[in-house]
Amino acid sequence: MTRFILRRLLVTIPVLLGLIFLVFALSRLVPGDPCRAVLGERATDAVCDDFIRRYGLDQPIPVQFGLYLGQLAQGDLGVSIKQSRPVTQLLIERLPTTVELTEFTITPNNYAAQVDETGELRWEAIQKMPMLGLTGLQVPEEYGGAALDSVSAAIALEELGWGCGSTALAIAAHNGLGTTPIVLYGSESLKSKWLPLVSSGKNKLAALALTEPGAGSDLQGGVVTKAVKDGNEWVINGAKMWCTNASIAEYIITLVRTDAKGGSRSLSQILVPTNTPGLRIGPAEKKMGLHGSPTHAVTYEDVRVPLDNLIGEEGKGLQQTLSTLDGGRIGIGAISIGLAQAAFEYAVNYARERKAFGKPIAEQQAIQWMLADAATEIELARTMLYKAAWLKEQARNYNKEAAMAKMFATEMAERVCRNAIQIHGGYGYSSEYPVERIYRDARLMTIGEGTSEIQRLVIARHVLAME
């Protein structure tokens, strides 16, 4: 046994060295100026010269590789360019949190099943997330966020979706809907006051209220919740439905009508703290799935907030909301892929273990084809989603791509989860197996953040140049 272990360790060494060389080579083969890729296009020549000398980029490639190996041998992973601190130190700081979160990630079925059964998020898990940047995915660092790029943020939400749909949706709604309007359009005072508070994970999260009892997709014509000026305050009256995170939110960004004349410039976004008198949050909705993600009706009765709580410009609320929803669709698509991936993995494992007619059902062609279709569709959805996220990061128009990715990923997840239940047979319909819960969680995704039908309209308008 000892000899076997030693042989395996010896085999590992050249593999590890090969991976190290590959990582080094790829970092040197990336086209472009490494200095300006890191520091930005505005970096001066003098700054770049110092950067190149400091990191040994002016040395021959073999010398650079030798220095790289020497640093690794000493446990020196370099210095974080963003934080100007040793990477090893940052990893050590995050290790305890990572270990604690292992409880929630390495055995997601147990955690997700508990959340589903109790109908409550495990706040202790949420409080571990700020160290990993999950409660401020794309919030700038100066306000306590992680300032992740859009692709990385999508990957994070996908992984959360793989672990627990309820937790993933709460975090996605918090990041994509609750913080994005402030990051993109909020005043400096709003950013400084609220973003560090909700990114810390020590208090509550954030929420966005759009839908009303008589208005879902028709925001422009259907929103009747109104806000009128009274001195230095807004007075808000109306009602909202399906507000995710309302009961665990520090504030609710509310879409209101500020111009009774109507039209595309009649709506505005106003930040309403949840402890404001007159704001009432109804009981949690009883839903088919996502039991741990709280969803509520919210009423506003003479709710007064300062005029400074206006987000962006008065009358630009519709445009700001639609832009926010584009990013939110990427988040929903990412969660859907995570759910589908989890269901797919459970189905693969079950197919390998379950025997029928004297052999594993994985050997049946019908089962193989369902798994092959699932693997293909998951990969395709992931590629579409990453493209939309990349376009967003490049500050390019991604409206069509976000709609495509959201529509395909959510409908794909429903198909994959359905077939995962089918592969499990009767057991798949039982709550003792996780695919039943995952299917219920996935079912909302084709409805929230714009139904599949709305996504098709958006796509068609682009295809037909009607936008």
Residues that are catalytic: 449
Give every CB contact of residue 319 below 8 A, 6+ residues apart in sequence. Answer: 264
Q: How many helices (H) and strands (E) does the chain have?
A: 17, 10
The dihedrals phi and psi of 114, each to the nearest 5 degrees, come to -65, -45
- The total number of residues written for the chain in this structure: 467
- Spell out the long-range contacts of 387-394 with Cβ–Cβ below 8 A and sequence spacing 24 or more: 388/329, 388/330, 388/333, 389/149, 389/150, 389/151, 389/153, 389/154, 389/330, 390/150, 390/151, 392/150, 392/326, 392/327, 392/330, 393/149, 393/150, 393/151
Give every CB contact of residue 393 below 8 A, 6+ residues apart in sequence. Answer: 149, 150, 151
What single-letter DSSP state applies at residue 212? B
Alpha carbon of 182 to those of 18, 93, 196, 265, 270: distances in Å? Answer: 45, 29, 12, 19, 10
* Residue in 21, 457, 459 with CA at minimum distance from that of residue 218: 457
Q: Is the dihedral of CA 224, 229, 232, 237 positive or negative?
A: negative
Answer yes or no: are the C-beta atoms of 338 and 331 closer than 8 Å: no
d(CA 44, CA 443) in angstroms, rounded, equals: 52
